[in-house]
Structures are given as structure tokens and as C-alpha cells.
Amino acid sequence: MRLNKTIACATLLTQLVFGQNNTTTIRNLEPVSEEYTFPEIQTAPKTKIGEKINIFLQLHYLQHLPGVFKKTPFEKVSYNSPENQGGTYLFYGWTKEDTPPNVLSLTMSTEFSGAYIEGYETHENYDLRTGNYLLVTDIIRPEKHTLLAQQVNTMVKKEITAFLSETKKNLAEIDSISQRELFDRYQEQIELYENCLSDYTEYQLGDFDYYFTKNQLHLLRGRCSSHVNRAVDDLYQFDLPFSYADLLPLLSDYGKNVLYDTPIKNYNSAQPIGKMFKGKIGNNAVTFVLPNINYDNSLTITYWYDKYKKPIECHGTFKDNHFYFREQSADDFSGLIGVIEAKWENGTIKGVWINHKTKKEYPIVLMTY
């Protein structure tokens, strides 16, 4: 929900967090305006970590790389922008959660204006020792993913069922004529939550949003309502906290290392998702960003040629350590430009970029950055 802009600007200008042997300073991205309050990360002495987090954040929310804009960092997502193609974002504020030293967890208070206007919060989580995304699927052992997801689904179902029971009881106790407005509200709520239960999806662990606090991991399940009936959705988003102590039997070695600083040989996760890569396509230096993956193995990557710093999106899949992506023209009219086929192995991505017209192949070699 929307934060008070005055409070956000006054109290969130600078916060300090401490990763392993690293000091992290967070301030508002310049230039600051009344409508936009966006975090900018600075780390010392390991400046690469702050660089990576800023790229992840600004590429995702602001649609450009840090410093690559004409007048304002918000020009691609602001009102009346000729480059704004999806809708308008307003960034009202951000907060840093109190977390274990190795974790950076940011909550972004945002408003989106497309077909309708709606405020919401999103969460960004990073390993402060590497600058990589901190994925919940990394910190939980793979064989325990289903177990934890089922716990969340059961808790949500229990909460909806209890609310339904109470609402039906309240409905039976009021007069439908003298208390018509309340009567209608109860009926709408019953319909909403009964549909939510009947259409219930057994969410997987990777489907949940999440954030970290000092002693808990919070898993978030989306609300039952759409925009049109959210006014009667009293339950709204489901926030399910799990203490790190309770999660300890489910934690991977990497998860224990992140949250408890237990010894580990390599605190990079074993998958390429949530990381940044540098290398070459042919003879050209490039950078790749791989965000989270969807439940059906699909994902969207962004890469750019380091010389030009213009982001290029590719849509495709990652399955059995193999990537397949299609690069379309930016205007969506010229069709397919090229195809990327590659394999992830031992921290390296190797493959080819294939020109769609000429079928010429250019080797791709990328290393974790």
C-alpha cells in the first residue's frame, strides 16, 4: 500500500546494513522528486556488489541500466513518457527489513497505472556477499520444496475457511432489509472466498513472493480478489511467517550459510537463476541477467552489448540445464532476429547465438559475475 511520501523521504534517505566484510549504504536515487523514491545501493570495499544490485533493481523497475537515461532515471515509466509502453509506475517509498547480516531485503511501495490504478508492495532480496538474488528455492533443500509449499497452502486454506464460517454466521444474524449494505457485503465475501477455495491452486514454493526479517522468512500468497472486487477482500494478501529455527531442518547448506553463517566451500547457489553473467557473443563483450524462473520452466532474460548498454529481452525456457531463447525485434513487427541455445555447467554458460536470416552461428561463453 502507499507510504506517506513525506515520511518516506524524511526517514529513508540513508540506511546502513552490514554484509560479511562489507558496508552497504542505501540512499534515494537522484534526482529525487515528489512522486518517486527509489533505493540506490552503495557497497564498500566490494563495489561490484552494489553495482549488481542496482542493475537488478533498475533494469526490472525502471527499464534501463544505472546512469543510462536522458534526463531522469524515471523517464521510461513516468506519466506522458513516449517510451512508456505498459503503464505508469510511481515509487512512493522503500524500506529495508531488519535481517541477518548476509541478507538485504527491500520492500518497494509502488503504484501502477494502466487500465486501472492500484498500489501494491513488492519485495527484493539479495545475498550481500555476492549481490545475487536470494531465492527461497535456494535456501530450502530441493526435496523439501513441496513440503513447505504444502504447509503454506494448508495455512491459507485454513484461514479462508475460518473467515468463511464466521462470515456465514454473521450473515444469518442480520436483517437483509434494514442492514442491506452489510448484507450485500457478506454475500459478496462468501462468493469471493468460496470461489477462491473451489479454484484453489496448489502453489509451488517458487510461486510465492517472500521477504526476510531478523528471525523469520515470510512467504506471501496472492489475494483472492481481482481489482474489481478487492474492496470486499478483508483477508487480502496472505503473509505466512516461518521462524528460521523451525525452518532449520529444511534449510540447504547454502540456506544455513546465508542465515547462520555456517561454513561452506562456495556460497554461490548451484543454479544460474538470480545471477548476472559476463562474457562474449562472438567477439562482442556482453552482460546477461537471469531473474527468477516460472513454474513451467519459462523465463525472460535480459542482455546487452557492453559497448551500447541497451537492454535486449529474450523469452524462452531453462530445463535440464539447457537454455533456449528467442530474440524478437524491439518493434514486434520485424519478427524473429535470433535464437540462443546454451548449456549451464559448473558456473559457465556456453552455447550459440544463431542469426535467424543467415543461420550463422556465433559462440556464446559467459561466466558468473
Q: Tens digits of per-residue pLDDT, 5-41?
A: 333 443 344 456 656 667 999 999 988 766 789 999 9
Map residue 199 onto helix, strand or coil: coil
Distance CA 340, CA 324 (A): 6
Q: Which fold has domain 5-134?
A: Heat Shock Protein 90 (3.30.565)
Q: Tens digits of per-residue pLDDT, 60-84?
A: 999 999 999 988 898 888 765 555 5
- Confidence category of residue 279, pLDDT binned at 50, 70, 90: very high
- Confidence category of residue 270, pLDDT binned at 50, 70, 90: confident
Q: Which residue has the higher pLDDT, 291 or 104?
A: 104
Residues of the chain with CATH 3.30.565: 5-134
Amino acid sitting at position 291: P
The pLDDT value given to residue 3: 41
Q: Please name which of 140, 153, 107 lies closest in space to residue 254, comparing C-alpha atoms.
A: 140
| 223 pLDDT more than 70 | yes
Determine the average pLDDT of the residues in 198-216: 87
The pLDDT value given to residue 331: 64
The pLDDT value given to residue 81: 58
Give how far the C-alpha of residue 368 lies from the chain's centroid of Cα atoms, to the nearest Å: 20
The pLDDT value given to residue 292: 84
Q: Tens digits of per-residue pLDDT, 88-103?
A: 678 888 999 999 999 9
Distance CA 319, CA 45 (A): 37
Determine the average pLDDT of the residues in 184-210: 88
The pLDDT value given to residue 117: 78
Q: Please name which of 67, 109, 74 lies closest in space to residue 91, comparing C-alpha atoms.
A: 109
- The listed range with the strongest mean pLDDT (13-17, 267-271, 315-319) is 315-319
CA distance to 287, 301, 303, 305, 350, per residue, from 277 (Å):
6, 11, 9, 12, 11
Map residue 313 onto helix, strand or coil: strand
State the DSSP code for 81: -
| 8 Å CB contact between 90 and 69 | no
The share of the chain scoring above pLDDT 90, in percent, equals 70
Q: Please name which of 43, 102, 34, 30 lies closest in space to residue 71, comparing C-alpha atoms.
A: 30
| 202 pLDDT more than 80 | no
CA distance to 258, 267, 345, 351, per residue, from 138 (Å):
10, 11, 17, 25
| 2 pLDDT more than 90 | no
Q: Tens digits of per-residue pLDDT, 110-153?
A: 887 766 778 889 999 999 999 999 999 999 999 999 999 999 99
Q: 122 pairs with which residues across the strands? A: 108
The pLDDT value given to residue 22: 77
Q: Which residue has the higher pLDDT, 350 or 116?
A: 350
For residue 157, give the C-alpha cell: 486454506
- Confidence category of residue 334, pLDDT binned at 50, 70, 90: low
The pLDDT value given to residue 221: 92
What's the pTM?
Answer: 0.89
| 8 Å CB contact between 353 and 365 | no
| 184 pLDDT more than 70 | yes
Distance CA 109, CA 118 (A): 11
Domain 275-368 top-level CATH class: mainly beta
| 193 pLDDT more than 60 | yes
Residues of the chain with CATH 2.40.128: 275-368
Q: φ, ψ for residue 29 (rounded to 5)? A: -65, 130
The pLDDT value given to residue 9: 40
DSSP assignment of 213-257: -SSEEEEEE--S--STTGGG-SS-SEEEEEEHHHHGGGB-HHHHH
